[in-house]
Chain A
């Protein structure tokens, strides 16, 4: 069964450093998403991406965040200057297309720890 993959599974970084989280969505999917979940809290939407541009972003997704689809398979989330409060699990998701936009499949997540 096709699945979303994410690397690394765990990333530890110092405050102020840049991190790039990587995702490989399901191959025929057209819509891509990033969510995050701070420990003990709910899953929160960060950004959606379609046709090589951002469709929607949340208030959390400020100028420190960016997303890119550098090639036909990878989808990345960059945090330019990490803060302590960026520590969370980051989930990538993808969905098929207009009819299946709500049926999103999640990757296993990257646990980001900012020290």
Chain B
């Protein structure tokens, strides 16, 4: 079983749509959780950290359910510039090793 699993997509949505991505992780020792964004052939960039209480950053909302080992990302009012691959990432804090999911590709169309 993969340590971090995501639906690879692609998700094709019109501008203004709301889209949700899900992710599950298998190792209950995982301690920190993130969503990174990766544009084609570029480096991953931190989008937001994910907390059990849920957190919001503008149009982006992330949620963590430790009991279900499930992480989500909601994007409201999608923009063309949101088109990218969204990476679900977990971390075991001791050494900082980040474990990446395969990524979910989002294509926002006019």
Chain A, interface SS category:
strand
Q: Which of A31, A42, A55, A108 has the most CB of B within 10 A?
A: A42
Q: Which of B34, B98, B101 has the most CB of A within 10 A?
A: B98
In the complex, A109 Cα to B42 Cα: how many Å?
Answer: 7
Which residues of the partner chain B approach A58 to less than 8 Å between Cβ atoms? Answer: 97
B91 touches A101 (CB 8 A): yes
B44 touches A42 (CB 8 A): no
Chain B, interface SS category:
strand
Number of interface residues of A (CB under 8 A): 26
Number of interface residues of B (CB under 8 A): 24
In the complex, A104 Cα to B46 Cα: how many Å?
Answer: 8
B102 touches A45 (CB 8 A): no
Tell me the B residues contacting A by CB distance below 8 Å: 31-32, 34, 38, 41-46, 49, 87, 91, 93-103
- Beyond A42-B103, A45-B99, 19 additional pairs, beta carbon < 8 A: A31-B96, A33-B98, A42-B87, A42-B100, A43-B38, A43-B44, A43-B98, A45-B97, A48-B95, A56-B97, A58-B97, A91-B43, A102-B32, A102-B49, A102-B96, A102-B98, A103-B49, A104-B46, A104-B98
